[in-house]
Structures are given as structure tokens and as C-alpha cells.
Chain A
């Protein structure tokens, strides 16, 4: 099956694209998709996505079809064919 991943802010630079379609197995969880993408784009991508290492303390927002994954099973949320996962940085200032 296939899902769409939309990247924002630094992730666009790390992935070198704004969005992409990714082929994954049925029942793949968000964390497994992130793992696959981290293998593709490297350690910095992984650190950024999980808020570790250089990016310690960073909390990104993951919207699956417009709903925050925290409302589902977080990183354990299972993906379905045609899903869109948007990964956004925290923006707080005013």
C-alpha cells in the first residue's frame, strides 16, 4: 500500500523534498514508517523526527489525515492505504 508523507521546515531540507509517496506493507505503524524514512535520509533526520541528539527537546506535530496521532496510538498508530502524514515543527512565538 501507499501513503503520502508531507515534510515541513527542516525536514524538507533533510529529505530534499516537500512530500513523497512511500510504499509500505499493510499494517505498518507510524514508527516503522519513520524508521524506513530515517534509513533513507540519515541520522539527522531520525534525530529531528524523534527530538533526540542535536534536536533534544524538540517535539514535532504529526497529523494523520488532519488528526494529531496523539489522539490515536501515537507512534504505534497503524497506517492505511491512502493516508497522508504531515510532519510539522513546533511554532510558538508571536
Chain B
């Protein structure tokens, strides 16, 4: 597909962000020509896909196998009362298109597995982690590392959250940081504003990587503690013998 220029309406829609130093028309065009996958349309994936749509990422692939349930609605803000029982990705697409019809939204009802990740996630510029389990996160991590796709990891619990950006070759991957799969949780306690905060940070990372501005969160994991309202960075190191990304595998 050829590189798409910006329309008059887009220049107006994106005016306030085009003004950001280092962004400009060139940055906005890069976003328009970019493709991002949001895997999981839950507490993280709903606000992440909203902001990716608002910012003008050209193509957004949203992936989730679930339908909206009542207990989702405290945090999965694309789902309204009237959407209960409908597939999240179908509901999300409708709302995202209402927000910004110029963005192409591709809904996929599926659970990402090792067998289908090539087909389901496919060839994208960035993958946003909206998962609620480690099994799938580690599948995404491996896929992204092997295809050189940046992967924006985030996870939440209660009023806590963590986020790090994984760019193969430039820092650790998830397997470096979590050599043993962390325990899964059936039901995570969570305040909706927590994933919303983390999703906003994920979108900032996506945009920075696509436009090529700022400094990505590579080799650093930002831990957010909403209880004490403190953000703190922890260094995370790459393993040369990492079975996924190591040079001495």
C-alpha cells in the first residue's frame, strides 16, 4: 500500500498534537500509515484502542474472544449496559469508528495461541498488551521478539500497575524479566482507573516509537502504586542466555 498523505480534515482533527515538538506533519503521516494490534479488549485494551483511534493510527487490529459481561463494565469503558452479551471487538469497532471514521479498525474474535499468533496478530508495527494472563503474554512476547515488533507490556492489579516496552535486541524481553511464568489469577481486583492510566502510558509508548520521538521505556519497568500515588522505575536487564531473545541461546 502506498504512503498516504493527510487530508484537510485530518490536519484540523490532529492540530493540537501536530504542534508537539518533533511530531509535525511527518509524525502524523507516520501514524496514519501505521498498523497496531491491541491484544485483549479489556481494562487496558478499551482505553488503549480509544486513544490509538483518537491519535490517528491508520489501522488498528483488535483481538478478543470474549463478550461483554456486567462485571467488565467498571473498567472496560467501550462496553455500555446495552452491549452486554455482544462480542467486545464488535462493540469496540462500532464505538471507535464513531470517534474517528478515518481509522481502519479490524475486529478479530479469537484467543491468541502459539498456533494462531502469526495469523491473528500478523504483520503490525507495534503490539499492545491488553492481556489478563501470562500464558498469552509470553506467546506474544515470543512472536514479537522473533519478528522484531515492539511489544508494550502492561499489567494491573488493585491500584498497582507495571509497564515496560520490549524491543528485541535493545533490552530485555518478558522472558528475561519473568524466567518462570508468574502465577495466573482467576479474578483480579482492580479499580478501572488503574488500567486506564496504564493504557494511556502504553499509547504514549506506541506513538513515540512510531513517530520516533522521546525515549522509550526499554530496560526499565515503571511500577505504579496508586495507593501511595508513587511512580517508580525498576531497572530490568537483558539475559544473554534468554531462551527467547538471548544471543547465547
Contacts and interface: CB of A to CB of B under 8 A. Distances in A.
Contacts of A8: 160, 223, 225, 232
B88 to A, nearest CB: 12
Interface in B198-249: 219, 223, 225, 227-228, 230, 232, 234-237, 239
A66 B223 contact: no
A35 B98 CA distance: 57
A86 interface: yes
Interface in A47-94: 57, 59, 61, 63, 65-68, 70-71, 84, 86, 88-94
A25 B154 CA distance: 37
B183 A61 contact: no
Nearest to A69: B179
Contacts, number: 88
Interface string B176-189: 01111011110010
B78 interface: no
A40 interface: no
A6 interface: yes
A88 B183 contact: no
Contacts of B236: 63, 66
B107 interface: no
Contact of A68 (B162, B179, B227): B179
Given A9-B225, A91-B156, A94-B129, A86 B183 contact: no
A5 B219 CA distance: 19
Given A8-B225, A18-B232, A67-B239, A92 B183 contact: yes
B43 interface: yes
Interface of B: 40, 42-45, 129-134, 154-157, 160-162, 177-180, 182-185, 188, 190, 195, 219, 223, 225, 227-228, 230, 232, 234-237, 239
Closest 6 CB pairs of A and B: A93-B188, A66-B235, A66-B237, A94-B132, A91-B155, A94-B44
